[in-house]
Amino acid sequence: MKTGLIPALVLTLLCALAHAADARPPLPPVPAFTSPSRAMLTAGELRALVEKDWLDGLRQPLTPAADAAGACDGVKNGAYAFHTGQEPNPWWQVDLGAETLIGRIVVFNRLDYAPGLHNADTLQIFASPDGKNWTLLHDNQGRHFGGISGAAPLTVTFGAQPPAARFLRLTIPSPAPIFLHLDEVEVYAAGKDAENIALGKPANQSSLSQWSTVKTAGPPAYPTATHLRRGRELAARLQEQGVEITERLRRLDALEARLAALPADTPADALRALYLETRWTVRGLVLADPLLDFDRMIFLKRHTQETYPDICLNHMPWVSRPGGDLCVLEPSTDGAPLFAALAEPPADAPDQPVAGLRNLLNGALGPGHVHGMDLWFEGDRVVFGYARARSEEPPEGWLDRTQSYRLRREEEPIHLFELGLRDHLLRQLSFGEWSDLDPAYAPNGDIVFVSERCGTSLQCNEYDKDETSCNLYVMRPDGSGIRRMSANKDGDYLPNTLDNGLIAYTRWEYHERSWALIQSVWIIRPDGTGADALFKQHFPNPWAVEDARSIPGSTKLVAIAAGHHTLPVGPLILVDHGRGVNEPQGIGIVSPRLLPPEGGMDGVPVPEGGTDDPAGFYSTPWALSEQTFLAAFSHSDTPGEPAGYGLYLVDVHGNKELIYRDPALSCFDPVPLRPRPLPTALPELVDTEKEYAECHIKNVAQGSEGIAPEDVRYLRVAEPVGWPYDNARGGHRYGEDHRYGGPGAEWKNLTNWTPVRILGDVPVQSDGSAHFRVPADTAVYFQLLDKDRLELRRMRSFISFQPGELRGCVGCHETRAGSQVLPPARSGAALAAAPAGMLPAPWGDRPVSFLRDIQPVLDAHCVRCHDGLTPAGGLDFSGGLTSHDEEIPGYGYNRAFETIITNGLVSLSPARAQDASITPPLAYGARKSRLFTALDDATHKGEVGLSADERLRLAMWIDANAPYHDRFVDKRPARPAYDPAQDKALAAALRGVHERRCVECHEVEKISRTDWIDLERPGRSRFLTAPLGGACGKKVYTGRTDPDYRKVRALARDAAAKAWKDPRRDLQSLDRPAWTRVIGRKPAGIDR
């Protein structure tokens, strides 16, 4: 047996034992058939549901003014009274009604959210006579203020010369996006200190957030005239289509006459009755649409997801309470038109059945919930995800995200199933330890689905959670041949088959860009080739476009505009991607009064006007045409209302009618249960025998204005390495966001999200062409390089390819017109030859490590000046290890790296930049970095002579966005790492000696730094060599036998020995010194 196999076998056995110890109790076997049940929906039940729905829709709309009113309502409770979006320079203002002399302004801060306590420290107050021209009254200049308790509120008193104002505006001057949220604002007129003149006055603010709510109230206003107008317009369109509507027109005439004759003092009950009668009349017209030419509709019921509301977290099997089913809404009797029966059920026969409701699973899979489904094109079978549960109650701790590691090992993953709709044959398609969900049938019968099988941990959400991301996978119709389609460290979600045979899905990415803004629509062939951005790759709002589907007879898509930390719910939109992949005007908003639950909203309302929903969220749309849609909708202000969503027919003219709602459960995914056209099955282009894909670029410089084409000499291929996850050890970590606010969080924790592995540099031919291979199923990004292999432009995104895929493109492009799934004609010098080999990085194709690959360059050329107590320029490039947040072990850097980052010596793409833009040429990298350009300045050129290899090392590291670590932190190691930089006892012992021997000349803290320990040669640690050799100005120790010298040497030696025995993450990149492997005698070289 090969000795190298032994560790692997041991690890396999350990993992098997771990899984065995955590074995989930078996669930009942899956039955071969289901026994559907059927219930009736009566006229009385439907009328009550529909009328309640109409009245629920009469709430005042959520507007900035409606939210802003909370800060001048007299309620002071320490919570936020209003909440803007996260934006630069947010503001809130009040209209006092008339110009008034202002004596005093009192501002009560929000106290219930620690991370936001200091948002308003820089608050500025402006005054205006007209709401247009503003004068600064007060600048708080970073001083903290409180509210109803603790620190006092902000009080601004104007004394003998009070300013005059009608409008007062409070703003946070900040170029970076920030929230503004306060408890209350009081304004007192000069000389009238007892009356708050802002109380109840109209207010406004710059934007809304997902936490905004309506703060104003009043009696309902019945928009009867609006619905009569819509009814007239709809009637005219139906007449043009040949629909018989004579009786409905007569009723509209009578209703209009009655409305016109109403006296001004008509009682509210009479107004309500006329409104409901009008709605029933118009509902009959809406449900007479010829597009409703089907009598059965399949959908799913489940509780709305209540925990983990996030684009990347809806795949946990416990996120929804158990409950629900696959359901079919159908006529109450054979041959009865479904929508005619639903249009206006008889008021005088409340027990009369108007529709049947069939529960297809009817408990066959036990407790649990359906998680995504798709109907086969012939309408005879359905594939769906199901999260089987052990009881009708959710598991203990299901709302606590810190419990995800335990729950993943205890709860059954989501699996895929298929159900025949005629024979009720049920079969399980997927098995194993990973969740599979949200399936979509491909035209050839294969099933595309979302899965955790990629074994990738999320990059964010703090250290105390264990959560996975998902990629796309595909299986054969019988569940065999499961194969990965996408390689995305961040996540791919909600695939749907388009009418052209491609798969549309939502892709989340944040490679050197915003974690919030890039949740765009991508497309991919059903075999996994041809992945490419389709829409919203490079503009911020809405933050996410989700659940995109085809519209019959159109190239447009219907979708949902959503946020990031939200469910896939929000405004209903049309996507005209033909206008450009990065064109916000390609969004047509069907519900223009609604906003996504998080983030902003770009686009334009549909020309017909759209709906006038005052609040609520759409979800799971299905288009009948460019103007008419089925969708789920909730009236709630909160997207996670457990039973909030019902099923509706919606059109761009503003009509919206409830089709079905269950008061106890939400309903999603309405789909006509009938055959539909089968898209063309695209040929498979994958060759699973190959481990690589082949790429052809006609001219790499095309599209990079500002770079001379002849300057581009190489193309770099690099991989952002995803964070690993396994169910035995949980999620491995790379960096943390320091709870969004610890000291130095932006540089100390998040210079990069991932390790970077440079696969190599491809030579570019004189005509700009390049031809090369890349590993399959690997996320890669590209960089244009000059003759010295320095970056000219980088791609702050990534893409993956399938085995054997042939992919071609023209150059650096921002639209899909520049890329091709199949290679272009073999023009260009590179394309006429075999794929070029790649020039490797000096450290090979392993991820770059600062400590291993870059620090030796600094040691050889820089530390002779940049070291010690007074390093040149105040820049210390020594290599000792530095500390990190005490609650996060294994995360430290070294002194040189901290010096470089904190002093801005390298040009980085910020890891958490709120940026969705296209990367311009020469934006980042070595060419823009002082650390690199200083090599050729007057001070250093003759003194620092780096070799070509050393210059390349430094440049390639910077152009990789200057990562420090090359590997991950195991949160559950067999032995904890020892970190000398966090060893308080070690630091205290060093201080104790130095307080006796060095305090006369030195500040003890400055010379007791644990990063001065030379871990490879502890006897050469600075606080040993300097006082012994006289570098301090005199000999502090008498010699090597001096007791204090021996004590310090022992401390350094023991710390070094422990550091190598249980190395922290960065030390694992280095070879252990020889002396650490010597047993039984004093290690040779330890004091050298």
* Whole-number pLDDT of residue 1038: 83
Instruction: Quote the tokens at residue 223.
Output: 């928009």
Angle between helices 1022-1029 and 984-997 (to 10 degrees): 10
Q: Say how far residue 978 (Cα) sits from the centre of its chain.
A: 34
Is 47 within a domain? no
What is the residue-wise DSSP string for 622-664?
EESSSSEEEEEEE--SSTT-TT-EEEEEEETTS-EEEEE-BTT
Domain final residue pick, 155, 180, 205: 205
Burial of 375 (0-12, 13-18, 19+ CB in 10 A): buried
Domain tally, the chain: 5
Domain boundary among 286, 308, 330: 286
d(CA 1065, CA 1062): 9
Residue 814 and residue 780 share a domain: yes
For residues 202 and 209, the answer to whether their CB atoms sit within 8 Å is no
Can you read off the two tokens belonging to residue 592? 């223009």
Report the amino acid identity of residue 880.
G
**CATH number, residue 88:** 2.60.120.260
Residue 472's DSSP bridge partners are 450
Q: Using the Cα atoms of residue 478, residue 479, residue 483 and residue 487 in order, give the sign of their dihedral.
A: positive
Q: pLDDT value at position 329? A: 99
Q: What's the pTM?
A: 0.89
- Phi and psi at 605, nearest 5°, equal -60, 150
Strand order in the sheet with 353-359: 37-42, 353-359, 325-330, 297-302, 666-672
Q: For residue 482, give the amino acid letter.
A: I
What is the maximum alpha-carbon separation in the chain?
Answer: 113
Residue 245 and residue 314 in one domain: no
Choose among 568, 575, 542: nearest CA to 632: 568
Q: Are 606 and 586 in contact (CB under 8 A)?
A: no
With contact defined as beta carbons under 8 Å apart, do 49 and 41 qualify? no
Do residue 251 and residue 338 come from a single domain? Answer: no
Same structural domain, 170 and 265 = no
User: Could you give the count of Cα atoms lying within 13 Å of 96 in the half-sphere of its Cβ?
Assistant: 25
The amino acid sitting at 273 is A
987 lies in some domain: yes
What domain range is 521 assigned to? 297-672
Indicate if 886 and 990 belong to the same structural domain: no
Residues 247, 362, single domain; the answer is no
Q: Which of 325, 401, 398 is nearest to 366 (CA)?
A: 325
Name the token pair of 456: 């990738």
DSSP annotation of 592? T
Question: CA-CA distance, 495 to 401, in Å (whole number)?
Answer: 26
* Contact partners, residue 1054, CB within 8 Å, separation at least 6: none
> Distance (Å, rounded) from C-alpha 252 to C-alpha 256?
6
Q: Are residues 917 and 804 in the same domain?
A: yes
- Between the alpha carbon of residue 320 and those of residues 323, 368, 1022, the distances in Å are 8, 9, 59
Torsional class of 706: left (φ above 0), alpha (ψ -120 to 50), beta (otherwise): left
Closest CA to 982 of 892, 919, 863: 892
As a whole number of angstroms, the distance between CA 98 and CA 738 comes to 47
Q: Are residues 433 and 541 in the same domain?
A: yes
C-alpha 470, offset from chain centre: 12
Q: Which residues, 6+ apart, have CB-to-CB distance to 353 below 8 Å?
A: 40, 41, 42, 43, 332, 333
* φ and ψ at residue 851, rounded to 5 degrees: -65, -40
Does a cis peptide bond (omega within 30 degrees of 0) precede residue 220?
A: no
450 and 530 housed in the same domain: yes
Task: Tell me, yes or no, whether 819 and 934 share the same domain.
Answer: yes
Amino acid at 59: R
Main-chain dihedrals φ then ψ at residue 439, nearest 5 degrees? -80, 155
The residues with which 618 forms a beta bridge, in sequence order, are 570, 633
The two three-digit tokens of residue 9, written as one number = 């076998």
Q: Is residue 41 part of a domain?
A: no
Residue 115 is predicted with a pLDDT of 84
Helix, strand and coil content of the chain, in percent to the nearest 5, comes to 20, 25, 55
Rounded to an integer, what distance in angstroms lies between the CA atom of residue 572 and that of residue 628? 11
Phi, psi of 530, rounded to the nearest 5 degrees: 75, 20
> What is the distance between the alpha carbons of residues 113 and 78, in angstroms, rounded to a whole number?
10
Q: Which residues of the chain register pLDDT less than 50?
A: 1-21, 739-742, 814-815, 817, 823-825, 1079-1081, 1088
Backbone CA torsion sign across 581, 808, 530, 799: negative
Q: What is the pLDDT of residue 828?
A: 66
| Contact predicate 393/353, CB 8 Å | no
> End-to-end alpha-carbon separation of the chain, Å?
41
Residues 6+ apart with CB under 8 A from 661: 49, 53, 646, 647, 667
Distances (CA, A) of 361 to 302, 355, 645, 692: 13, 19, 21, 43
Q: Which two tokens stand for residue 136?
A: 């600064």
Beta strand extents in 714-805 (DSSP E only): 714-720, 725-726, 730-731, 756-763, 770-775, 781-785, 791-794
The token pair that represents 89 in the structure block: 């320079």
DSSP, collapsed to helix, strand or coil, labels residue 232 as helix
Give the closest residue to 343 by CA, choosing from 296, 285, 423, 256: 285
Per-residue model confidence (pLDDT) at position 590 = 99
In this structure, the answer to whether residues 635 and 726 fall within a common structural domain is: no
Structure tokens at 559: 């979708």
Query: Checking DSSP bridges between strand 692-697 and strand 806-809, what pairing results, if any?
Result: parallel
Q: Residue 858 and residue 932: Cα distance in Å, rounded? A: 12
State the Cα–Cα distance between residues 526 and 547, nearest whole angstrom. Answer: 17
Paired sense of beta strands 164-171 and 381-388, if any: unpaired
Among 174, 211, 178, which residue's Cα sits nearest to residue 86? 178
Rounded CA-CA distance 509/527 in Å is 21
Asked if the structure places residue 1045 within a domain, the reply is yes
Q: CA 994, CA 976: separation in Å to the nearest integer?
A: 30
**How is 238-270 classified by DSSP, letter by letter?**
HHHTT---HHHHHHHHHHHHHHHT--TT--HHH
Euclidean distance between CA atoms 948 and 634, whole angstroms:
63
pLDDT of residue 1028: 67
| Contact indicator for 498, 763 with CB cutoff of 8 Å | no
Would residue 732 count as lying in a domain? yes
Place of tokens 């009668």: 277
Q: What is the pLDDT of residue 889?
A: 63
CB atoms within 10 A of CB 645: 30
In a domain, 682, yes or no: no
For residues 262 and 582, give the distance between their C-alpha atoms in angstroms, rounded to a whole number.
Answer: 51
Which amino acid appears at position 859 of this protein? D
* Whole-number CA gyration radius for the chain: 33
Name the nearest CA neighbour of 148 among 80, 203, 83, 214.
80
Residue from 90, 92, 106 nearest 172 by CA: 90
What is the predicted pLDDT for the residue at 791?
97
Give a yes or no: residue 44 inside a domain.
Answer: no
Residue 932 lies in a domain: yes
Assign residue 668 the CATH number of its domain: 2.120.10.30
Q: In what order do the strands lie in the sheet with 483-484?
A: 436-441, 447-451, 471-475, 483-484
Say if residue 462 is in the same domain as residue 482: yes
Residues 6+ apart with CB under 8 A from 461: 401, 467
